[in-house]
Amino acid sequence: MLLNILLLLVILLVVRGIARLVRWFLLWLGRGRRLDGAVDMRRINQDAVRADIEAENAAAGVERLTRAQQAEVIAAQLMDRELFLADLHVGWYQVVIIFVIGSMAGLVLEELWMLITAGLTQSRVGLVWGPFSPLYGFGAVLLTLVSFGLRERGARDWQVFLASLALGGALEQLTGWGMQTLFSAESWTYAHLPDHITQWVAWRFLVAWGLLGLVWAKLIMPEALYRIGSPTTRRQVVFVVLLAAYLALDILMTVACFQRRAERDAGIPPLNAFEAWVDVHYTDEFMSNRFQNLVVGREL
């Protein structure tokens, strides 16, 4: 019991340390050389309102904000967010960051879900390098683009629900079919469920995609885009460009590894030095240990 408590405390300290390190790094990125004409339009009203309230409180000898004053600051923050989103054009900068966050958060949630519901401690990663599950990353990006576009058009909740439902179903179908067709691999199947539509699509998960889309459009997407903001320093641009290049290389390398795994199962020898290098460093054993939820080749 004592060891478990100590372990929990160590984990909390590590998480807290990582959070502080990430916060410091983000602040460091924001202090780099400014981009020409770049102005951070966030927090203008919020900072002005807070400054006025704090000045009033200082004159009255009050240190803490009242609930009414806190509500005023929150209202100013929401106004800043709406003004920022009204002028925002979602581009590559926001897309890359959302892909990374979605890939990592989705992976963590999936592994926690499997641990809670099935008692499995299983690697559910989707790329050969790093803690990423690209299905969730692409899902987060597509949900963001679609929900942001619908937001600009004043779409109703039922339209967001149906669009998210269709988007999630298409993403699952295309991903599952592509993996099986191109690489003879299977990451999940709903064939055993009574409400399955295809091997990779089921009604219950379509509804889940629709509900997720509503939550994403109403709560997650606006705040995420507001906090990500637009690049204002060269450090931010360089960092996200390097991150995008790494992810692109990771995806291409993963495709190459799965391609060679399928070719090895078919008895096809490597045709060049790169394929021979892949066979040496990314063996069947490595692929099985790395992608523990995958069924590949002859195992299907």
Give yes or no for residue 86 having a pLDDT over 70.
Answer: yes
Q: How far apart are CA 160 and CA 211, in angstroms?
A: 9
Question: Any idea where the domains of the chain sit in the sequence?
Answer: 36-87, 88-299
Q: What is the pLDDT of residue 24?
A: 82
The pLDDT of residue 123? 79
- What is the band of 30 on the pLDDT scale with cuts at 50, 70, 90? confident
Is residue 3 very low, low, confident or very high in pLDDT (cuts 50, 70, 90)? low
How far, in Å, CA of 64 to CA of 142, rounded? 42
Give percent above pLDDT 90 in the chain: 44
pLDDT of residue 218: 92
* Dist. CA 293–CA 275, nearest whole Å: 24
Rounded to 5 degrees, φ, ψ at 196 are -70, 145
Indicate the SS3 state at residue 214: helix
pLDDT above 90 for 74: no
Q: What is the pLDDT of residue 133?
A: 92
Kindly report the number of other CB atoms within 10 A of residue 77's CB atom. 19
Q: Find the mean pLDDT for residues 74-79.
A: 80
- Give strand pairing partners of 186: 295
At 283, the pLDDT band (50, 70, 90 cuts) reads very high
Query: Who contacts 175 (Cβ-Cβ below 8 Å, separation ≥6)?
Result: 135, 187, 200
Number of C-beta neighbours around residue 251 at 10 A: 17
148 vs 187 pLDDT, higher one? 148
User: Highest mean pLDDT range out of 10-19, 61-70, 131-140?
Assistant: 131-140
| The pLDDT value given to residue 141 | 96
Mean pLDDT of 96-109: 93
Is the pLDDT at 47 greater than 60? The verdict is yes
Q: What is the average pLDDT value for the chain, to the nearest integer? A: 85
Task: Identify which has the larger pLDDT, 104 or 26.
Answer: 104
Mapped onto helix, strand or coil, the DSSP state of residue 34 is strand
CB of 163 within 8 A of CB of 136? no
Give the three-state DSSP class for 202. Answer: strand
3-state secondary structure of 125: coil
CA-based torsion, 204, 148, 91, 234: positive or negative: negative
Amino acid, res. 104: M
